[in-house]
Amino acid sequence: MPATPPSLFPPIQPTRHGMLAVDALHTIYWEEVGNPNGIPVLFLHGGPGAGLSPQHRRFFDPHAYRVILFDQRGAGKSTPLGEWRNNTTQLLIEDIERLRTMFGISRWLVFGGSWGSTLALAYGQTHPERCLGFVLRGIFLCTKAEVEWFLHGVQWFYPELYAEFIAPIPASERADLLGAYARRLLCDDPDLYWPAARAWSRFEGRRVFLLPQEEEQPSDTLDLGVGRLEAHYMANGAFLEEDQLISDIGRIAHLPAVIVQGRYDVICPPLSAHRLHGAWPGSILRMIPDAGHGALELGIARALVGATEAFKRFGRFD
């Protein structure tokens, strides 16, 4: 992980946190940070399955914002970890609405990066009347082309990582690499799903940042959440129609939005951010010239904090 950017606000602890049972299988972890009378903001983490980090609280002025964060189904402190059953985009949207109602919030700013941008767009297009605006990073629309790039296209930049990724899969199954991984990740045999989860998480994690970083210690929580849920959502097209998030942009086009994108993001390449910006009149695109995918890369972090600071002052981003 890179050094913490100086633009972030100081570390802060939640004012409240807890668990919410959302159905007979899933219980989600939530936390509230900042000023209880501040501007409400919803933070949506990536993955899916990556879960929260204490750093996520630090994009917001705690004196001005009331920040609601949660671990999505199967991620982080939510239980059961890595559970893919009863786990769809539509159910995550229902969970968000449960949280909004629980906290007594009428409308909130929606902040999400990577898969969090996918979920933010899907939530906003389902409930535009509940949104004040959007701060989005590393855009992922979960189209077939993006999934193909994630699995195969990236070999043009990281051939050694791609070779490691396909090595555990027999040559006879590699024509459908996503299916091969999904069969292993979503089975009930830990001897099959643990190696697959670790291979998947490593394949993604080692290409997050533009510049090489000191490799983090392995995390079973991260590996299982990311491996299982990314494969599950990609195999199902995020439970959306192809390119739905672009075709339905009219539902939220009246709302302010800032899009922050790393120029050299090889997980969520800039084309998706460019397409979203082009379809969304009035949106602002901040293309960071010296960044990859990581939210904590200096230019990206500065742009994200700049967006929340602008919204704090003016209710818009320009």
- Going by their DSSP bridges, the two strands 16-21 and 65-70 should be labelled as unpaired
Active site residue 220: no
Beta bridge partners of 29: 19
Given 71, 95, 248, 265, the catalytic residue: 265
- Per DSSP, the residues of the chain read -PPPPTTSPPP---SEEEEEE-SSS-EEEEEEEE-TTSEEEEEE-STTTT---GGGGGGS-TTTEEEEEEPPTTSTTSBSTT--TT--HHHHHHHHHHHHHHTT-S-EEEEEETHHHHHHHHHHHH-GGGEEEEEEES-----HHHHHHHHTGGGGT-HHHHHHHHTTS-GGGGGGHHHHHHHHHTSS-HHHHHHHHHHHHHHHHTTSSSS--PPPPP-HHHHHHHHHHHHHHHHTGGGS-TTHHHHTGGGTTTS-EEEEEETT-SSS-HHHHHHHHHHSTT-EEEEETT--S-TTSHHHHHHHHHHHHHHHHHSS--
Strand partners, 34: 66
Per the omega criterion (within 30 degrees of 0), is the bond before 80 cis? Answer: yes
CA pair distance 185, 198, nearest whole angstrom: 10
176 is catalytic: no
Please say if 293 is a catalytic residue: yes
Choice among 56, 71, 78, 114 that is catalytic: 114
Helix (H, G, I), strand (E, B) or coil at 61: coil
Quote the tokens at residue 140.
Answer: 């992922």
Region for residue 3 given its phi and psi (left: phi exceeds 0; alpha: psi -120 to 50; beta: otherwise): beta
* Catalytic positions: 114, 265, 293
